[in-house]
Structure 1
Amino acid sequence: MSGAGVDIDARGLKCPWPALRLARTMRTAESAVIVADDPLAPREIAALAAERGWTVGPCATAIGPGWRVFR
């Protein structure tokens, strides 16, 4: 993934869809960046990451704020 790239553009999707897309991406990826604008997304992404043992943190992308997730 490039530094400015976005793996998952989940803007406009309501939860649980952003977290489901993240889970699907992380099946084969070591890391991902997700941008989601649903107000519940940060909590859903954090819960998924905690459940799976992933590290998650905020990051800036070309299309707005998002989260970088690592295995």
Structure 2
Amino acid sequence: MTSKLDTLPLPSSPAAEGPVLDARIRLRLGRQLQALFDPVLDEELDPRLAALLQQLDQDRQAPEGA
């Protein structure tokens, strides 16, 4: 799947991109984000939201003519 970002032209110089994060900083940032969001992934989903998501999945799987 391609997004709009995939079709954007690349900047002509690194200075045009803004700051560049080296591998060590990206790894640290990734670990901090994971630590922040891991507890959220373990939370129970509200039953009403779960029912809506199930209905959405069913609607997507149904034939278009039905």
Do the structures match in fold with TM over 0.5?
Answer: no
* Structure number having the greater helix percentage: 2
Query: Highest relative contact order (Cα 8 Å, sep 6+), 1 or 2?
Result: 1
* Structure number having the greater strand percentage: 1
Bigger Cα Rg: 2
* TM-score for the superposition, normalised by structure 2: 0.26
